[in-house]
Amino acid sequence: MLREVKEFCKEHHWMTGIHEFLQAWGPQKLESMRGCPIKDYIMLVSHVSMWQTRVSNVPKKLITKGRLLLLSCHHIQAEMESKLDSIRKDILTHLQNECWTRSQQLITELTDFTEAFQTINSDIHTIARCSQKLNKANKQYAELEKRMEYIRALHELIRNHFSLFSAENEALDVSLLDVWEAFQFEKSQASEILLSKQNSIVPKLQQLIAAALAELEGLIEKALSGPFMDPAQEQRSMECQLISLERQFHNTASHLSELHHAYATFTGTEDSHPLHHHPVRDPPTEIRVLCPECP
């Protein structure tokens, strides 16, 4: 009798490993796996599925020879089956949430790029913004593609290992793929359009850069001459006018920076900045005066 019980326990000793896993399981386990390689999810799901099968095949009871002892496994078997089923559902919910969150975030970013690529027209400022977006998209392309592949792998994992792919999941997968293809197409179109316009855009950008530089110099000259250098002028009025000049100076400097980024994108001179070749003096102290009482 005792030998039969020992043999039964030895044969089913593998259940202790599952029991330890179930005891250690908690929400933090899935949270720690967020963003992990797909193979780690597959391994976890495969183990849970295998354990469910093995536990369900455990005899519900053992009756020793001579019917002297009844060893019931029903309670522990039912408990383990329930916990494994709950964990499987937790994993599915986690994977679905990961798919939804990551898909929505990526769709938003790709749509932002796509809309920028679709707004190319003859306006130099719009073209400049588009060229910056294109440059950014090219730099981030490998990372965007990697995120796209990861999300689709999550979808495939749900489809293959849970035999459950709802209409909502399917629609999200299709939507993501459509947005990705649109992004690729519009990026390619924008590249071709910008390349075709390069010969006319570069000279125009050079003109705008020169005009912005001249405006900055003019603002500084204005702040260092005329009534601003006359101590007899009313101080409050001069301070307010200088604040206005300061704002204009920074707006023009910001515009110049945008033009430079566009120029660098078209010419490939990333290290070249207009101010390096046409240095503009820093705004004098007077133009940086802040008058807290002025708007």
Segment 50-107, tens digit of pLDDT: 998 888 877 765 556 655 555 556 677 888 888 999 999 999 999 999 999 999 999 9
102 is a domain residue: no
Output the pTM of the full model. 0.69
Return the pLDDT at 137.
93
Has residue 217 been placed in a domain? yes
Structure tokens at 184: 């690729």
Q: Residue 291's pLDDT band (boundaries 50, 70, 90)?
A: very low
Q: Residue 139, Cα to own-chain centre: how many angstroms?
A: 14
- What lies within 8 Å, CB to CB, of 130 at 6+ separation is 116, 117, 119, 120, 190, 194
Taking 50 as the threshold, does the pLDDT of residue 286 lie above it? no
Residue 288 structure tokens: 């940086």
Give SS3 for 113: helix
Instruction: Report d(CA 19, CA 15) in Å as an integer.
Output: 6
Extended strands (E) in 56-175 = 61-63, 70-72
How do residues 166-199 score in pLDDT, each as one tens digit?
Answer: 788 888 889 999 999 999 999 999 888 888 877 7
Give a yes or no: residue 225 inside a domain. yes
What whole-number distance in Å separates Cα of residue 160 and Cα of residue 151?
Answer: 14
The total domain count for the chain is 1
In a domain, 42, yes or no: no
Show the domain range for 241. 199-288
